[in-house]
Amino acid sequence: MSKRFVVYVAALAALWASGVVVADQREQVEKGTAHYLLFCGGCHGVEAEGQGKMAEDLSMNAPALTLLRQSGCAESVTERVLKAVDARHAVAVMGGEKMPAFSENLEIGTIIEISEYLKTIQQ
C-alpha cells in the first residue's frame, strides 16, 4: 500500500469523523453517478464502458471502468480510482497528459462517491 493512499484513507477517516462525508451508501452512489457523468463519462463512456465521446481526441484508449475488479489486480476499486485521479500517479503512468489529474480539483469525498458508484457497476 502506497504512502499516499494511506494519507487518502486517513483524510477520509477524518472527513467521516467530522460528518462531511455522508455515510449513507445510496446517497453516495447517487452523487457518485452524477459526478462520474460530469467528470469522467466524457472519456470513459456514459456507462463506464470505455471510449466516451471525448476519447476520440486522445492518443490512447480510455479503458472501461466496469472491469476494474476483474482485471487481476490486487488493488481495490477505490484504490485504483484514487491512484488514477492522483496527479503524480497520472504523470508516472500516463506520461503526463493522457488523463487529467483531478486530485487538486476534486474533493476527496467526491472521488470516494465516484468509486462507490463504480463499485456498483463492476462486472
Listed in sequence order, the residues at least 6 apart from 74 whose beta carbon sits closer than 8 Å to its beta carbon are: none
- When the beta carbons of 10 and 92 are compared against ligand HEC, the nearer one is 92
CB of 20 to ligand HEC, least distance (A): 19
Listed in sequence order, the residues at least 6 apart from 55 whose beta carbon sits closer than 8 Å to its beta carbon are: 42, 43, 44, 45, 61, 62
Q: Helix-strand-coil percent breakdown of the chain, rounded to 5? A: 55, 0, 45
CB of 41 to ligand HEC, least distance (A): 8
CB of 9 to ligand HEC, least distance (A): 17
- Using only C-alpha atoms, what is the Rg of the chain? 14
- When the beta carbons of 7 and 54 are compared against ligand HEC, the nearer one is 54
- When the beta carbons of 8 and 39 are compared against ligand HEC, the nearer one is 39
CB of 93 to ligand HEC, least distance (A): 5
Whether 63 contacts 118, CB under 8 Å? no
Which uninterrupted H or E stretch holds 94?
helix 87-94
Q: Which residues bind ligand HEC (CB under 6 A)?
A: 39-40, 42-44, 54, 58, 60, 62-63, 65, 80-81, 84-85, 93-94, 98-100, 102, 114
- When the beta carbons of 10 and 100 are compared against ligand HEC, the nearer one is 100
